[in-house]
Structure 1
């Protein structure tokens, strides 16, 4: 299978990166707290971010899941805030979502991100949801009543509800767009964000290792630091292969594997990046801790590592 990006896909990725780097500043978002930048949300809609998989006949861009993954990977790089997944899922069915005029969130098991800022909530009702202290200062959360943690439907029930018989070979996601509330698509988009964060923390660690000197040389020359950076690269590229493959096939089990590997890459890369930075990494001024906290929160949305492992093991 050839995972080389086409010229159009590279242009799309570059365009999204330029837009986000020129318009979004994570430090400015911290100053704003948990309020959503509606102006930026509208700009994302105008740029076609939310309507990437909406057919052209319906006013969308008419691209596929691989292109959506590339866009969400770029969002993960810059720690873009807001309920991106919910708004993306609703773009083909809810008026105003594709254009960014409506902010849409969805529940992930027992948690609902950005509930106070959302105009619409996809899926089951959220009556009685209470604010829940988030590890990430840029991801406000609510917890649904009667939940004791980061709950998610069991593997068998989730597969049965979305694919029918859980023992049957997994189906494929629609090429044009998935139905609103599709948990498999949501998990893959979260995995793409995790991949973007993993790649960014790898870049941050390598750059710092080249710049920081100790005992008369750059710390990147020390074997221990080299090993940390090499391990970060391996995790990132393994996760990239899994996420891109799942985007091409839309296979439910490949999506489970992609979420598992992307979560691991994002969390462990952020921790290793912090290690490379040493004492500097623990300070509020460094962005390392923001990537780690966001990675922890994303890992709790959708499939957990244990649930993904159980799905994959059951299919063997």
Structure 2
């Protein structure tokens, strides 16, 4: 069986990379991180965004490129592709450390086929973040990213999913300091009913997308987040190798030293291992495969960023270097959608189920 990318898939990945390099280069990333914005533009004005805000111009360009509507049927105005293609696109977004609730907006755009109101999510006209109501059982609070920039919130309950307004969620939210300077977070303590309680409601209380939807959306969001982690892991490999070739120490490029070579080789092995599992999970969509992809992609993103920092030496610890941005974003993503503990439980449950069937 041939698992190589098709010509169309390679073109999609190349197009996404070109878009990211043109519209979100390193200078733009540093502007967001350093709280300088773009020309003082405020989030939502159509030109750019200040620190922590979503660049609405770039968001609409992503929509025009079909990023959010990749898996929407052509009859509904989408591109009509599948989860593997979405994974390739999200990998490139992760490679560039593109901020914003990408997975939530992508999933909300897909709900258009169910009749749920998404208010322009597919076109990039709306920013949609996510609130996982099931997470309220863990300490009574849920962290929501980019809430201040969002137009709507995708709420996931125990079995149902639906769309609510950001204003409703924001009324019970408290801004907290985020480890990642490009991912603003709000802590929401109660005040949001599980989706099952308002699934059949209408008007200001939102409209649901049907029972059983939440579990599927969680799995897809976990895989798309793993794809972003994969992109970050691959980017840190490139960054470490490039620095090892350029940095001269004791009269030689540090890449000539065996210790540095071993670090870079280990980074590549982690990234390529994660890539194979993430791609396989996109094809099978199996919960166990997705859990494995989450575990390996999280490990690759975090450990590769740490090793990249070591390759850079003292300068890797400075604010001016980009290495810390990959590490901080990897830490934040690792706590979103499916944590390592939840992924391990998913894998354990699958192994127990397989063992029981074999007895």
User: If the length of structure 2 is used for normalisation, what is the TM-score?
Assistant: 0.77
- What secondary structure does 1:106 align onto? strand
Q: Which runs of 4+ in 1 moved over 3 A?
A: 124-127, 178-181
User: If the length of structure 1 is used for normalisation, what is the TM-score?
Assistant: 0.87
The residue that corresponds to 2:7 in the other structure is 7
The 5 Å alignment of 1:1-316 reads 1-24=1-24, 25-30=28-33, 31-32=36-37, 33-92=51-110, 93=112, 94-108=118-132, 109=135, 110-123=142-155, 126=169, 127-145=171-189, 182-316=217-351
Task: Select between 257-266 and 30-39 the one with higher mean Cα deviation.
Answer: 30-39
Where does the alignment leave 5 or more consecutive residues of structure 1 unmatched? 147-161, 165-177
Whole-Å separation in 2 of the counterparts to 1:217 and 1:249: 47
- What secondary structure does 1:302 align onto? coil
Where does the alignment leave 5 or more consecutive residues of structure 2 unmatched? 38-50, 113-117, 136-141, 157-167, 191-209, 352-359
* Residue correspondences, number: 289
Q: Give 1:142 deviation, angstroms.
A: 1.0
Q: Give 1:29 deviation, angstroms.
A: 2.2
CA offsets 1:10-48 (integer angstroms, 9 cap, x no match): 000000100111001311322221121111111110111
CA RMSD of aligned residues (A): 2.0
Whole-Å separation in 2 of the counterparts to 1:180 and 1:260: 18
Q: 1:38 to 1:180 in 2, by over 3 A?
A: farther
Do the aligned residues in 2 keep the contact of 1:197 with 1:291 (CA within 8 Å)?
A: yes
Whole-Å separation in 1 of the counterparts to 2:65 and 2:337: 27
Whole-Å separation in 1 of the counterparts to 2:75 and 2:214: 17
Task: Select between 128-137 and 13-22 the one with higher mean Cα deviation.
Answer: 128-137
Q: Give 1:304 deviation, angstroms.
A: 1.2
The residue that corresponds to 1:175 in the other structure is none
